[in-house]
Homo-oligomer: A and B are copies of this chain.
Amino acid sequence: MNGPDTLLRAVEATLFAATEPMSVEAISTHLGGADVRAALAELAAFYGPRGIHLVERGKRWHFQTAPDLAHLLRRDHEVARKLSRAATECLAIIAYHEPVSRAEIEAIRGVQTAKGTVDVLMEAGWVRIAGRREVPGRPVIYATTPAFLAHFGLASRRDLPGIDELRATGLLDPVDVAFDALIAGGDDPADDLSDK
């Protein structure tokens, strides 16, 4: 077996040394404009069976340890601070509905959300302000960050657990929309629901 070529080694070393996940563009820039896509794919495949994996999270690449070795590594690493239930729900609502305003989060949770709850998520680097909704009051809307995807091991939001199913069953639609859809369906709502 020949050794890996120079570009492959360079991409490997660059990502290995990087303190943050890197986009394809950033890697390429760092390596003088080389096309690194093929090298990334080759490296990801190469490391597939190893103790270290090369993964893509939100269009950014980084090395991380293989998930199945978690039990060996966890002990000497500080366990991430436990999120409150409110924060967890908030995070899930933002991730599955983004971009979403605080009022929309509250409509789903049926309870006021303390300002600190979203702040905790922003502080963790998982949630960012994604602008304002162009409706009266111009509320701030929130979305997730690449760091969120990286933390939860998601290549993109499409990988959110069960998101396709939730979308298909209309569970990501607001109650009004879902209600109107049911009524428009003309069937007995209960039947319609129970078909699932």
Contacts and interface: CB of A to CB of B under 8 A. Distances in A.
B31 A72 contact: yes
A140 interface: no
Main secondary structure of the interface of A (DSSP, over half): helix
Contact of A51 (B10, B49, B73): B10
Interface of A: 3-4, 8-14, 16-17, 30-31, 49-52, 63, 65-66, 69, 72-73, 75-77
27 contacts: A3-B49, A4-B50, A4-B51, A9-B50, A9-B51, A9-B66, A9-B69, A10-B51, A11-B51, A12-B51, A12-B52, A13-B51, A13-B52, A13-B65, A13-B69, A13-B72, A14-B72, A14-B73, A16-B51, A16-B63, A16-B65, A17-B65, A17-B77, A30-B72, A30-B75, A30-B76, A31-B72
